Amino acid sequence: MKTKLLFTFFAALIFLCIKPAMADYPFTEDFESGVFPPEGWTIYNQAGSATWEQTSVVNHTPEGQYSALHNFASGDQDGWLVTPQISMPTEGYFFLTFWDINGDASWYGKNSVLVSNGSHDPADNEYVEVWTVPEVLQEVWVQVFIDLEEYAGEDIYIAFRYEGDYAHIWAVDDIELGEEVDASPVMVVTPLEVEQSVGQTGTSTNRINIHNEGIGTLTYDIDFEYIDEEGWLEVNPLSGSLDANSTKVIDLTFHGMGLDFGSYSATITVASNDVDNPQVTIPVTMNVIDVGPVNLVILQDTYTFPVAISENGQHVVGTPFGGQSGYYWSEETGVVNLTASVNGVSNSGVVVVTYNDPDLLHNGNPVEVAGRWSFANQEFEFLGMHPAVPQFSMSSYNSGYGISSDGTIVGMQYHDGFADYRAFSWTEDDGYDDIGIHPSLPQNNRPNGINASGGIVYGWSQSGNIGRSPVFWHGDDVVFIDENAGGEAYGASPNELFVVGNIGNNGFIRNTSTNETVIFENPLNPGRLAPTAVTNEGYVFGFTAEGFPPLPPGRRAFVRNPNGVMTTFNDYALDRGWFDAADWTFYAISDVSGDSNRFIGAGIDTDGNSVSFMIDFAPAQPVIDVNPVTLSESLDMGGFSEQTLEISNNGDGDLIYNALIQYVIDDAKVQEVPVGRSRSANKESLQLNKKEGTDGFHPETKSNDKNDVILNYDGANVDAIGLLAGGTFYGAARYTSEMVAPFGGYILESVDVYIGDIPTEIKLIVWDAGTTTTPGALMHEQVFTPTATSWNTIILDESLELSGADLWVGFEITHDVDVFVLGIDGGPAIMDGNLLTQDPTEWEHLSDYGLNANWNIRARLQYG
């Protein structure tokens, strides 16, 4: 259900059907006269019970108190606020300006301004619409400029029209017509420098924003120039125009295909009709990087809000939207569901909870209290009675809102019912400390959490007429970010250097060492900012949200780096080597571990499923060491001996290993083949493209039998390939006699292949030895039906014994345009592992087309 803001609306006013008075020119109105509607103004309610009213809840006028507001109501609303008649001169200034603000913008109906040079009554249908909202912002005052020069010399009425059914709230203030206005366009371009990482076989995106802060229409043209290698950057659009107070996002696409690892540079130049700032040049850098190890843990197969991760990254708690419930996760326990609200977790796995205690009753009902829970002791444990509140006066007593790494808990205590509530901290040794009772805090307040060290508590406090103003406790100090502004503090770094939160629609970051507060806006989308976490280095994470409920499509995760540049979390993840992040939609990042490697949040994965996750950008990696690396033994007939292999794990991750015995032909003879003719790549005839978004988490194929042998050149899947225009092509791997000869007599049992998109037809083909560049006679072919975006195992339907000569294993693929079928790894390329052709008599290599990759093709052998 929609949450109503605290605006009061009255019954519909009965308007007087008399012609309004003539107004002076220039015309102004700030709604501060105390009379509403102002003299000469008229209200027309064409539909609905809500009406235009004077309000003191929002105001724009400096030193003023009031504005004109139209609230929402159930059913169709159509409310008109009409000026007196205004006589426009034939010469002069003709811009109508006013300030407006929208509440509950996610339910926006329609705001518009109309002009009539005839009747003042909307029922006469003589009004012409001259403006409507180009971009709806939540609770942000925006100045609107409308050029009414076409009405010069005429007598006009101006109407402010609200429309909607249980929709938004609209307020207007400080209306002016005829005042001198600088009508020049003003170009603002952000950011002024772009740096983007991309995988060697992938693409990634970024953006620049062109904003017109002026009144006149801004026109722009974009050009870009490469400093070194060419062809890796796309810019769209290259030209356009912007009305007053509007923004255009310019999409940048970066292509890493065919490029070596390293940095590539270009410049983007934006030219405009802004006389004072006609040209802006933006340096652009693309870094082609290798795939990084990433571990993804799905906490919930649905969209929830993971609330907190412990400073050591070992424990996570979260909550679904709505209802008093939560969950706990660790690597040892997996997900454990809790019948309590959860708001933090310590390094030892102690969870701070708010729960209904059946042993604590008020009027026969369980009382809601703050407590603790752990997997080791799975009972909810009440923190105990607060000495200042020795008995229950209602069924809500106190709530837990955070816990430090070592177990200090913060929460909110009700002192006099819902009328008086204050922040507290609590420790096992000292019990309750009323940090919310402080000379700087004469009104109600609440924490949102406590940082890992326990040195900073962050949250909000009432301040004058402000319901929630961001505040934090640091030592003995209580610090308001701005006691005259609304917002909340949502996070603090483990080292106590930074505090973050929102103030109005914007975000803030406070440096506790310099006492400097930086307010930052949202350049990514129209939503308001909700910073939720900050690292020791000053990276800010959070989400944008356009209103309640906090659901798609408006919510998106963002990152602000210490230099003040804001990006999406997609871009951040790409920079850390997780290329499949480009194909995710990240709703939110809620928290980050102390080492800045583990993140919790929610999003839409590459299969289109909403999930809640934990991402580890530095997963523990095992490193195996075997000593000795060779064994030899001479035995008499019927003899027996023992030797020892020592297996060591020199890495920081758990090592899982199997010891496999593979019998090979003694003194196997390598069968040489003729050197084939090399073919030069014809990039015009064979145009390759790649798929964006195979998930990249597929492990390498493992042997599952002591007699298995796997022949392959590739690593884990990172992408998939297809022909740009569709058609038929072949991809194959040549396993040389040096690899195959020791396994002469083995059976080719099956072939593993990674398939991205489903083709029109796909056929497994096995060839005998030919030359070094072309296969020999056809040995086996088999049509099969693959599964998309996964490894597929094709078990041969007839036995195929290996002779020890070269073995070619590949696929014939026919597919439509924009279909990407055959999987590839992230390199490095091995020539025999990336063969392709459209003509089986002449073969090329993926590397001929700039792709540092191998096919995800693996031949599984079984000892005969």
Domain with CATH 2.60.40.10 in the chain: 187-289
Tokens of 137: 């912002």
Q: How would residue 665 be classed by pLDDT, with cut points 50, 70 and 90?
A: low
Q: What is the pLDDT of residue 703?
A: 42
**Residue type at position 616:** D
Helix intervals (H) in 295-373: none
Name the pairing type of β-strands 279-289 and 194-199.
parallel
Please state, rounded to an integer, the average pLDDT across all residues of the chain. 89
b/e map of 263-298 (b: 16 or more CB within 10 Å)? ebebebebbbebeeeeebebebebbbbebbebbbbe
Cβ neighbours of 589 (radius 10 Å): 27
Beta-bridged to residue 441, according to DSSP, are 438
Q: Give the long-range contacts of residues 12-18, CB within 8 A, separation 24 or more.
A: 12/45, 12/48, 12/49, 12/50, 12/51, 13/43, 13/45, 13/51, 13/52, 15/42, 15/43, 15/44, 15/45, 16/42, 17/121
Q: What is the pLDDT of residue 664?
A: 66
Q: What is the pLDDT of residue 666?
A: 62
Helix (H) or strand (E) holding 575: helix 569-575
Q: What is the pLDDT of residue 238?
A: 97
Residue 427 CA, distance from chain mean position: 36
Query: Would you say 580 and 573 are in contact if contact means Cβ atoms under 8 Å apart?
Result: no
Beta-bridged to residue 541, according to DSSP, are 533, 559
Q: Which of these, 223, 247, 286, 826, lies nearest to 571 by C-alpha position? A: 286
Q: How would residue 330 be classed by pLDDT, with cut points 50, 70 and 90?
A: very high
- SS3 state at 122: helix
Give the DSSP letter of residue 389: B
215/112 Cα distance (integer angstroms): 18
Q: Which of these, 558, 455, 562, 474, lies nearest to 518 by C-alpha position? A: 562
Comparing 744 with 784, the larger pLDDT belongs to 784
304/254 Cα distance (integer angstroms): 32
**Residue type at position 13:** L
- SS3 state at 476: coil
Tokens of 158: 């101006």
Q: Is the dihedral of CA 625, 629, 634, 635 positive or negative?
A: positive
158/461 Cα distance (integer angstroms): 42
**pLDDT tens digit sequence for 296-318:** 999 999 999 999 999 999 999 99
Please give the sequence-ordered ranges of beta strands (E in DSSP) within 583-703, or none if there are none: 585-592, 598-604, 610-616, 624-627, 646-649, 688-690
**pLDDT tens digit sequence for 250-273:** 999 998 877 888 999 999 999 999
Lowest mean pLDDT among 154-158, 197-201, 567-571: 197-201
Q: What is the pLDDT of residue 257?
A: 78
Tokens 């292949």 correspond to 753
Q: What is the pLDDT of residue 683?
A: 43
Q: What is the pLDDT of residue 323?
A: 59
Tokens of 188: 């603002």
Q: What is the pLDDT of residue 14?
A: 34
For the residues 456-478, what does the mean pLDDT come to?
A: 93
426/420 Cα distance (integer angstroms): 19
**Residue type at position 163:** E
Q: What is the pLDDT of residue 754?
A: 96
Lowest mean pLDDT among 468-472, 821-825, 860-864: 860-864
| Contacts for 209 with CB less than 8 Å, ≥ 6 apart | 189, 190, 247, 248, 249, 250, 523
Per-residue pLDDT at 371 exceeds 50: yes
Q: Which of these, 351, 357, 358, 399, lies nearest to 378 by C-alpha position? A: 351
**According to CATH, what is the number of the domain 295-607?**
2.130.10.10
Q: Tell me, which fold does domain 187-289 have in CATH?
A: Immunoglobulin-like (2.60.40)
Q: Which of these, 822, 622, 631, 759, lies nearest to 201 by C-alpha position? A: 822
- Burial (Cβ within 10 Å: 0-12, 13-18, ≥19) of residue 763: middle
- SS3 state at 125: coil
Per-residue pLDDT at 19 exceeds 80: no
475/456 Cα distance (integer angstroms): 7
Q: What percentage of the chain exceeds 90 in pLDDT? A: 69
Tokens of 389: 């509140």
Tokens 């043209």 correspond to 221
- Burial (Cβ within 10 Å: 0-12, 13-18, ≥19) of residue 3: exposed
**Residue type at position 838:** Q
Residue 129 CA, distance from chain mean position: 38
Tokens of 208: 């620049």
Query: Would you say 242 and 215 are in contact if contact means Cβ atoms under 8 Å apart?
Result: no
236/527 Cα distance (integer angstroms): 23
Q: What is the pLDDT of residue 105?
A: 78
Q: What is the pLDDT of residue 227?
A: 96
Q: What is the pLDDT of residue 707?
A: 55
Beta-bridged to residue 611, according to DSSP, are 603
384/428 Cα distance (integer angstroms): 10
414/392 Cα distance (integer angstroms): 10
Query: Would you say 300 and 290 are in contact if contact means Cβ atoms under 8 Å apart?
Result: no
Q: Is the peptide bond before 38 cis (omega within 30 degrees of 0)?
A: no
Beta-bridged to residue 456, according to DSSP, are 474
Q: What is the pLDDT of residue 339?
A: 94
Q: How would residue 138 be classed by pLDDT, with cut points 50, 70 and 90?
A: low
Q: What is the pLDDT of residue 695?
A: 39
- SS3 state at 1: coil
CA distances from 532 to 154, 529, 612 (A): 54, 9, 16
| Contacts for 95 with CB less than 8 Å, ≥ 6 apart | 145, 146, 147, 148, 177, 178, 179, 181, 183, 215
Name the pairing type of β-strands 341-345 and 747-755.
unpaired
**According to CATH, what is the number of the domain 22-177?**
2.60.120.200
692/431 Cα distance (integer angstroms): 54
Per-residue pLDDT at 96 exceeds 80: yes
716/270 Cα distance (integer angstroms): 41
Q: How would residue 580 be classed by pLDDT, with cut points 50, 70 and 90?
A: confident
Cβ neighbours of 622 (radius 10 Å): 13
Query: Would you say 153 and 88 are in contact if contact means Cβ atoms under 8 Å apart?
Result: yes
25/632 Cα distance (integer angstroms): 105
Query: Would you say 145 and 244 are in contact if contact means Cβ atoms under 8 Å apart?
Result: yes
Q: What is the pLDDT of residue 362?
A: 95
437/435 Cα distance (integer angstroms): 5
Query: Would you say 821 and 757 are in contact if contact means Cβ atoms under 8 Å apart?
Result: yes
Domain formed by 688-862, architecture = Sandwich (2.60)
Q: How many helices (H) and strands (E) does the chain have?
A: 2, 65
For the residues 185-205, what does the mean pLDDT come to?
A: 87
For the residues 134-142, what does the mean pLDDT come to?
A: 79
Helix intervals (H) in 323-403: none
Q: Which of these, 584, 604, 696, 733, lies nearest to 201 by C-alpha position? A: 696
For the residues 475-501, what does the mean pLDDT come to?
A: 95
758/124 Cα distance (integer angstroms): 61
Query: Would you say 802 and 748 are in contact if contact means Cβ atoms under 8 Å apart?
Result: yes
Give the DSSP letter of residue 416: B
Domain with CATH 2.130.10.10 in the chain: 295-607
Query: Would you say 810 and 731 are in contact if contact means Cβ atoms under 8 Å apart?
Result: yes
